[in-house]
Structure 1
């Protein structure tokens, strides 16, 4: 049967996450870099895409498409995952399902779009040997195992060439669904049977492109036909039991334009096709889909259907709104498909059924309690590596694992990771910062410099990623998570002060802000200081003097603090006249309107660079962030140093500058590892409250080639 569904406003779910009380929650406990599974030379590109686990719950198996291998991870101790190596599969591994200790791997060997080919291979994980291989006669895209281990289902996509014509279906040959029995622990190729899916969909019905499959306890296979915007339920004998359109959604309060760095959620989309990717059975009658979109659609959320085609529940824009509030919204994807929910997993933990939805572009795993499939509750948003693609739940051990496909080697970002989460009686450790509770939906990200006021409230600036919507955020750090309570637009003559790169913020006694903006000479944007009133209006601009402009480079002021009547700004890296591994702390006397500087001795770097980020003053010292630009195990320098104010006597520009002394206050790497993730590179903000408590923040690069994760935490009193 075929049904066309258009969402009405009465079906929209609420956006708020249920309170993460001291109850059962998922918290990340470990991250495993895929590169550690290679001996000797590591490929320039690796990935972790689809993931499964052995029956004993002790070994994870994942596909690594660009490297052409599957990898295995020992999680006997889930907090310390260990490499078990890789196996070359002679093609592109696209999917994996494990029964017992055998992995069934879909391998794409297509020489072209018009001549698709592939195999499913059985791999004995005990010795990483291939025990069987069945020719699928097409390109496999996903696999699923029957609950009783009796057969494997394979979605044969035979995907379209997006560069052919205008990239639309139909593009033959058509895809279909294959099922193969598992006998005595391996594949019996003689049992291969096909279920034809042609003629079902209204959208290019002659060319179905199956995307994702899952199997319920009855042996029924649900398959999404993404480009066709269709869903089918197929019996194990290949008979189509039901099929229907995935339908469309009306979305309100979303961002559909790439405004080059502005988070504006005032647009809508009517009749947005779901075009689902991932699908998971919740019980024998209901399943959930992730509405990623591909050719024409992308409804940015999750939907639950009864297998007869009845629409049961729709998230609408509420999932994306929750993602916006924790700073993970990928603004550069606004004109495409937003956060892009893609992969899914389902499992029952301690009697509670959960659906896990992976938002590929937001790098978030959404956790829904689906005790009542007609009214799911969004319980948590978990931080992931960049672009989570697959997940596997291990409820008998209280574990969840995600595979994160993006490898950032070529983009200066983190490499691909597998991440593990523990289910337990503990408060949720993420997010650290949220705008939930504000009257309007407020997006944020790329937090840079910070400052605390006399009441202990913290003001933070976002850097140039949001340069077309510069804002100062007021943060209440006393709540868990810390709460953004106000967003102050920085304006010039009543309009957004576009193209600012705000890297530091300070407060004066009159309640004005002083903002340091890093320039870009290649874009004719000057380094400058700005006085901004409490309403966000720029009242004064101070450019750099000729003596500094003659030696400046792109990497400029990375913070600002006010000591008496003098503004101090750390320069991130060496300028033209600086000795090696020394950078300027630049001073500007507001009363005398005079410039000066001292030199700060920074660490050398064996890889990449080391520079300064932010600066704050408390008591008789200034406190400075010194960091390298490395991630994960490559990170060495993420530190806070104290410099005595007695050393901060500026010399005239152009003269020999005095060198200050520094004392290590804290190595931040243990803090950055405390939530089970890899070390983030951009520790960019420090604020010190009147009682001496220091708060640290990281910059998430506006969720661009970044996991979107923002850490915001206290290291206690700096005077201890």
Structure 2
């Protein structure tokens, strides 16, 4: 078992000893939504998991799947091994589901356009799939919530605006409202349905409220967010408006608000940022918390606690984003558009402690907060989720937590949409596996590629071209758990951040500096090259590839570099023009004589996609490489470390017939990757071996772009 458990110790946001507690939440399983498709269905169709709920006994999950227009069901009687129960066709787009006992109440949008919204609430037996009842909602529903005693249901009727109409702003009639429906004998009582008018309350477009999310406390009071109106309404059980107030604004400081720089720099500010909340949850009968996603103008990137009388009790500011950045999950491409985008939320009590589970949709994480003092929430954990977590349900009676993750990247050959399960149990947290220290200037990071061992427990790692304006060499301390980035050294050319680099490998030069291997791409004018970088991060020498090698060029170049005496050895990711099929070059460069040479490495043939090399490390009598395919999840077949006898590494002349080296399998990494309970990650990219023989392996998280952002860094001997 490769996963090391640890205590979170962020100076910025994560409380000391947070994950040292007796119990923590850890992911134990995941379920891909295509697994619920019937035999013969096209599993390459897009599917999704958006809003999720659970049966009263905690054994069956139900989630909305908008692309397939179905309600998906999962048996979690064994939560570590979730099983498909199939889909229920809905005849429209499901927007929410609430399960009361064994009845699933599904809000279904049947609108033809924004100006004639329509929808209904359908009740289904969760076991048989039979429809038990249906109520017309006279509008487009968004979210649902039910009273803890199961007596009634609240539905937010959003009647959302058309973002393409006019200037895309509210108001656009018809206005939304809130529907309250009594529940009886597992069915909705349509005769009891009543529309609660919430017009005339907000300062922004009072004539056009757009209710987004709703929650009900133990007193039967209904909290509703009007997202685009930046407003919160509190209703009584009978629909009386008890109170309403503006969600207000936040002065954000220390954020990254620009995505064009391909860099993480938390030095900007946004004054008076409207919160525009999405989810709302009651903490207790007097306090509620909102997730400040934004939508039209706002997005304060965090969360806010209010007393139900409208008094602001706590504002998170940029602290949640900072903690996410330390964990390597900050989505730079969303910097100008709501950053990590908090959206979904759940409040539940485990072992007497009320926790908030806050979903960051664009960062693909869950912030776990101790909410015992609503005026002083404490971040206890950051959990990894699938791509774009949209819904979350707590099952405290079984010590379980579940998220629904909506992004399905089937068209791009990426991860499918997933439901992910977590258990609250004895033991320390298993994630994150790498953080930045949080001391002094915040170090944002991502897209870790090549690594090399330093002195003692130190590693050095580089980021790749995702951060094109911020090429960096990171110093990592592996003596602490999780491993911690303690410093970031910018790689510069003529005093400015070096451009046109795709750093995929790093090795030490023996004089305090480094050699860096850059994978070229002709279509982006990035050269295939070696760079000598001094201890200050300055590029002192650039070594271009020889003509004999470039004559056979493809875009799949250097993936790793290591040093043996005066020779640098670089692994080529895939075949170049003169390589035999399923063979790639290990290219050599002599730093003293400037000679070039190579040997051939025999890689596995790929049934689907491709296989190639992603790292190379020399140690003693062996040279180690990572060989991997480009497949994800259940399709992954090859994620392995092999070793080559150093005696085989005798470079032959480029253009001549090259020696084929022998290889021996050292470790299959797929079981390691499965141990984190998610899907098998694609890019195993980093390998380093400490002086004591400890192997460290890491994955590239693609800069949290069409990726869950999960970075796995683990060790073994």
| TM-score calculated relative to the size of structure 2 | 0.97
Deviations along 1:27-84, whole A, 9 cap, x unmatched? 1111111111112222521110000100000001100001100101111111111111
Deviations 1:514-572 (A, max 9, x none): 00001110122210000001110101100000011110111100100001110000000
* Residue pairs, 1:134-149, within 5 angstroms: 134-149=135-150
Aligned pair count reads 704
Match of 1:702, SS state, is: helix
Measure how far apart 1:18 and its partner are. 4.0
Per-residue deviation, 1:412: 3.1
The yes-or-no answer on 1:32 pairing with 2:31 is yes
Shift of 1:455: 2.2
Candidates 2, 7, 16, aligned match of 2:14: 16
* Counterparts of 2:457 and 2:421, CA distance in 1: 35
- Please give the secondary structure, in 1, of the residue aligned with 2:323: helix
How far the C-alpha of 1:617 sits from its partner, in A, is: 1.1
Q: CA distance change for structure 1 residues 153 and 233 in 2, over 3 Å: closer, same or farther?
A: same
Q: Paired residue for 1:547?
A: 548
Distance 2:221 2:608 in 1: 53
Match of 1:308 in 2: 309
Q: What's the offset of the Cα at 1:16?
A: 3.4
Are the aligned partners of 2:502 and 2:526 in contact in 1 as well (CA < 8 Å)? no
Q: 1:235 offset after TM fit, Å?
A: 1.1
User: Secondary structure in 2 aligned to 1:162?
Assistant: coil
Q: Specify the SS of the correspondent of 2:466.
A: helix
SS in 1 for 2:20: coil
Give the corresponding residue for 1:659. Answer: 660
Q: Could you tell me whether the CA contact under 8 Å between 1:438 and 1:486 is conserved in 2? A: no
What are the Cα deviations for residues 264-318 of structure 1, in whole angstroms up to 9, with x where unaligned? 1100111100000011111111111000000000000011111111101110100
Alignment of 1:102-181 (within 5 A): 102-181=103-182
Q: 1:43 to 1:588 in 2, by over 3 A?
A: closer
Residues 151 and 18 of structure 1: CA distance in aligned 2, closer, same or farther (over 3 Å): farther
SS of 1:320's equivalent? helix
Aligned to 1:223: 224
CA contact (8 A) 2:14 2:380 kept: no
Query: 2:420 maps to which residue?
Result: 419
| Aligned equivalents of 1:259, 1:491: Cα separation in 2 | 19
Alignment of 1:45-84 (within 5 A): 45-84=46-85
Equivalent residue for 1:5?
Answer: none
| TM-score normalised according to structure 1 size | 0.97
The gaps in structure 2 that reach 5 residues or longer are 1-10
CA contact 1:108–1:119 (8 Å) conserved in 2? yes
Q: Distance in 2 between matches of 1:584 and 1:622?
A: 14
2:690 counterpart of 1:689? yes
Question: In 2, Cα distance between the equivalents of 1:577 and 1:14?
Answer: 52
Shift of 1:14: 6.3
Give the 3-state SS of the residue equivalent to 1:560 in structure 2.
strand
Q: Which moved more, 1:396-405 or 1:18-27?
A: 18-27
Matches within 5 A, 1:267-346: 267-346=268-347
Q: Distance in 2 between matches of 1:161 and 1:367?
A: 34
- The 3-state SS of whatever aligns with 1:192 is strand
Q: Deviations over 1:228-272 (max 9, x none)?
A: 000000112111110000000011100111133110110011110
Secondary structure, counterpart of 2:510 in structure 1: coil
Partner secondary structure for residue 431 of structure 1: coil
User: Contact conserved, 1:18 with 1:377, CA < 8 A, in 2?
Assistant: no
Q: In 1, are the aligned partners of 2:14 and 2:381 still within 8 Å (CA)?
A: no
Match of 1:621 in 2: 622
Q: Is the 8 A contact 1:290 1:341 kept in 2?
A: yes
- Cα separation, 2, equivalents of 1:25 and 1:79: 16
User: What is the correspondence of 1:587-666 to structure 2 with a 5 Å cutoff?
Assistant: 587-666=588-667
Question: Corresponding residue for 1:375?
Answer: 376
Map Cα deviations across residues 474-498 of structure 1 (whole Å, 9 max, x no partner).
Answer: 0011111001011000001111002
Q: Distance in 2 between matches of 1:61 and 1:159?
A: 25
SS in 2 for 1:322: helix
Separation in 2, partners of 1:79, 1:309:
42
Counterpart CA distance in 2 for 1:428 and 1:607 is 35
Unaligned runs of 5+ in 1: 1-12
| SS state at 1:344 partner | strand
Q: Alignment partner of 1:357: what SS?
A: strand
Instruction: Give distance in 2, aligned partners of 1:677 and 1:393.
Output: 18
Contact 2:500/2:527 (8 A) holds in 1: no
Verify the 8 A CA contact 2:33 2:417 in the aligned structure 1: yes
1:679-712 deviation line (CA, Å, top 9, x unaligned): 0000000001112111000000000000000000
Shift of 1:438: 2.8
Contact 1:474 1:484 in 2 (8 A): yes
Write out aligned runs for 1:196-275 (5 A).
196-275=197-276
Whether contact under 8 Å (1:17, 1:322) holds in the other structure is: no
Alpha carbons of structure 1 residues 508 and 674: separation in structure 2 relative to 1, 3 Å: same
Structure 1, residues 179-229: CA drift from partner, whole Å, max 9, x if none? Answer: 111111111111101110100001001000000000111111100000000
**Structure 1 counterpart SS, 2:452:** strand
RMSD: 1.0
Q: CA deviation at 1:22?
A: 4.1
Q: Secondary structure at the match of 2:473?
A: strand
Within 1, Cα distance between the matches of 2:316 and 2:134?
41
The 2-side partners of 1:434 and 1:195 are apart by 47
SS at match of 1:558: strand
C-alpha distance in structure 2 between counterparts of 1:14 and 1:555, whole Å: 39
